[in-house]
Chains A and B, each alone.
Chain A
């Protein structure tokens, strides 16, 4: 069964304290792995797509990496405005399966 698991469920950081979020997956026929950011009361906002193991993408303080079994979202020197829920999703065929998300809190 296709599955996406994110950890931790919640993460509390001090401003400037770098860390990583994990997304592990089991899926047949992976077409792509996505990271989204979701703010309270809003829809998910697209961040990255990764297609193959070894691929990396960066955007401001965020860097996403991919292996054959998992993906990491690295947050370097986070700021309070990075506080949000980060969702990982995998595309198998034309179906997208989301993980439960990691709620990130960054304190000033």
Chain B
């Protein structure tokens, strides 16, 4: 398996624009997580899905952020409108189940909002 695949690897956008980050989890994994990593706040869980259903989105910072998982092999994280403080590395991770202890991370998307 190729692991968790994220796209794009890098995204530079202007403030106010819509940004969509994409993730393909490992086949057979039932749980998917979106994290954000910054120097100031470290790695923060934004939202996680179990069997394509959002379970906990309490980490989503604002209504400008939304996430979907239309099927078991694809998820998106959307920011609309984007702001400079959204600049960070966004990681997607998947695990066999929500209770699984081992999560596999993608390479991340480095987002820069100017």
Contacts and interface: CB of A to CB of B under 8 A. Distances in A.
Interface string A37-60: 000011111100100000000000
A66 B33 CA distance: 26
Given A32-B101, A94-B98, A43 B108 contact: yes
A91 interface: yes
B107 A43 contact: yes
Interface residues of B, number: 21
A95 interface: yes
B108 A42 contact: yes
A1 B32 CA distance: 24
Chain A interface main SS type:
strand
Contact of A95 (B42, B56, B106): B56
Contacts of A42: 107-108
Contacts of B55: 94
A46 B104 contact: yes
Interface of A: 31-32, 34, 41-46, 49, 87, 89, 91, 94-101
8 contacts: A31-B99, A43-B108, A44-B43, A44-B91, A44-B105, A94-B48, A94-B98, A96-B45
